[in-house]
Every structure is written in C-alpha cells, then in structure tokens.
Homo-oligomer: A and B are copies of this chain.
Amino acid sequence: MARKTGSHSEITGPRVRAEAQRLFARHGFAAVSMRQIAAAVGVQAGALYLYTPDKETLLFQLLETHMKELLAAWQAEPRGQGPLEALEAFVRFHIRYNGERPEVVFLSYMELRNLGPENFAAIEALRRAYETELETILKAGQAAGMILVPDTKLATMAIIAMLTGVNTWFREGGRLGRAAVEDIYWDMVRKAVGA
C-alpha cells in the first residue's frame, strides 16, 4: 500500500473507472465488491486502494466526473444567438451527450442512494448547476416574450426528464436515427414551451 506512485494511478485510474462503471451498471453498486472490480481491471484488490479509499468514493468519482464533463461539454457547445437557438442547442446536446453514455447516466439516477450526505450534496449541486443552465435559457426566452411556460423550474425538470428518457428506448439501427430523434424532440420541446 505504501508504494503509491503517480504513474501507477495514472495507468489504472481510467481502467478502474471504466470497469467499476460497467460492473455497477450491470449488477448494481451494492452487489459489486472491490475485489470484483480489481479482478476486472487485472490487479490485486490492494492495488485498487492506491486509487480510491473505498467503493463509495469510486462511485462518487464516477458521478462527479460525469457531471463535470457534462457541464464543460455544454459550455463548449455552439448555441447561436437567441434563447430559442440556445434551447434547440440544449435539446440536441442533451440527447446526444447522454445517449453516448448510457451506463453512467443510468448510475447517475439509480445509485444516488448509495452516496453519503456530503457526496450526495456535491452531486446534487452539480446537477442543479446543469438544470440552471436550461432554466436560464427558459427565463431569457420568457423575458424576451419568445417562450411561455407556467413555471420555468418545472419546465426545466420536464424537459430534462423527457430528453433523458430517450436512453430508455433508443436503439442504434432502429426505426429512427439519432438526428431524426433530435428533430422530433426539439419539435415537441419547442411547442411545450409555447415557442
């Protein structure tokens, strides 16, 4: 346990996260042991503790990394000028970004119950920051008279749930491609907010 080195954790870190994510999504957090994760990575269980102090921290790191990357990716997303362009960009971004990461998105909703109060609060704060991105767009649209919703907070929650729901049914090679799905959801969201 004493010979922790930067290079060691740099090599195993991404693999530990990838295997933990895969195993948690498949079997559930509580059913997966550190020993199983170590075996999947191909290291001794002891080596895993060089990377993370415990299993909950590993889950927390997965969810925190996901939320931070989601926020950074949205910040970097091109989004045109006005509130409607921004709303369309958000709709298409959310479907695409989450569609490419079904495992960690699933864990983000499902395994929050396994975080302690502090870790839970940290993930909730990141989630709220992401929701605020959308709500800010809706408020700007409302102020500009381009959007009409009875409650911007509920509209935010409704839109995010609707878009994340694509992950539950979308299958590559199905009746509709991703671009068509984005178009159809954008049509529904636009109408839902009275634009």
Q: Which residues of A contact B (CB under 8 A)?
A: 26-31, 109-110, 113, 149-151, 154-155, 157-162, 164-166, 168-169, 176, 181, 183-185, 187-189, 191-194
A113 in contact with B154 given A161-B161, A188-B149, A191-B194 (CB within 8 Å):
no
Q: What 13 new A-B contacts, CB under 8 Å, besides A150-B183, A157-B168?
A: A26-B113, A27-B30, A29-B31, A30-B31, A31-B31, A149-B187, A154-B176, A154-B185, A161-B166, A162-B165, A164-B165, A165-B165, A191-B191
Chain B residues, Cβ within 8 Å of A164: 161, 165
CB distance from A44 to the nearest CB of B (A): 24
Please name 7 pairs of A and B residues whose Cβ atoms are closer than 8 Å in the assembled complex, sorted by A: A28-B31, A150-B183, A150-B184, A155-B188, A157-B166, A160-B165, A161-B166
Contact, CB under 8 Å: B176 / A168: no
Residues of chain B with a CB closer than 8 A to A26's CB: 113
A191–B155 Cα distance when bound, in Å, is 12
Write the chain B residue with the least CB distance to A149.
Answer: B188
